[in-house]
């Protein structure tokens, strides 16, 4: 049996950095694709007044937002300049909080419409947005806890 030597700490660090950078790029590309799909779906809603297009669009937007949030979280971990990392962490947390509160506000309106009209499509859209807001809050909390 051939014994493989231990990988040096600097080689391991470089490997992890390369993997995190490729993950960030992949998630960024995927999030853009999902945002484009959301725009197409919502554009279809303007042509055909079918609420399912809004549900699909919000679902795609939800996935794109989550991928973008995780991408930002990973990219913040790889920053070596502590001042830049603190600044970007602070701005990212503020941005995620604003977006999550907006998701919760729109979700509340959609739930009210769903209850008023007895329309489950609006309820599903509200669930999508409240899920997105919850995940953004969780990611921002994780970023905050990692920042020390």
In a domain, 20, yes or no: yes
Please state the pTM of the whole predicted model. Answer: 0.77
In a domain, 1, yes or no: no
From 59, 94, 89, select the one nearest 74 (Cα to Cα).
89
Give burial (CB, 10 Å; 0-12/13-18/19+) of 1: exposed
Report the domain count for the chain: 1
Q: How confident is the model at residue 8 (pLDDT cuts 50, 70, 90)?
A: low
18 compared with 30, residue with greater pLDDT: 30
Tell me the pLDDT tens digit for each residue of 75-129: 988 888 889 989 999 999 999 999 999 999 999 999 999 999 998 888 988 998 9
In a domain, 67, yes or no: yes
Q: Which domain holds residue 112?
A: 12-147
Q: Is the pLDDT of residue 67 over 80?
A: yes
């Amino acid at each position: 049996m051939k014994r493989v030597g231990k990988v040096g700490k600097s080689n391991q660090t470089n490997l992890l950095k390369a993997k995190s950078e490729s993950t960030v790029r992949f998630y960024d590309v995927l999030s853009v694709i999902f945002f484009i799909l959301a725009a197409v779906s919502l554009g279809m809603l303007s042509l055909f007044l079918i609420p399912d297009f809004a549900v699909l669009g919000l679902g795609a937007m939800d996935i794109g937002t989550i991928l973008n949030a995780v991408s930002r979280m990973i990219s913040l971990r790889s920053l070596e300049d502590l001042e830049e990392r603190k600044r970007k962490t602070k701005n990212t947390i503020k941005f995620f909080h604003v977006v999550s509160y907006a998701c919760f506000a729109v979700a509340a309106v959609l739930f009210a419409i769903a209850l008023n009209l007895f329309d489950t499509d609006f309820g599903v859209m509200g669930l999508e947005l409240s899920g997105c807001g919850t995940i953004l809050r969780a990611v921002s909390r994780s970023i905050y806890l990692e920042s020390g």
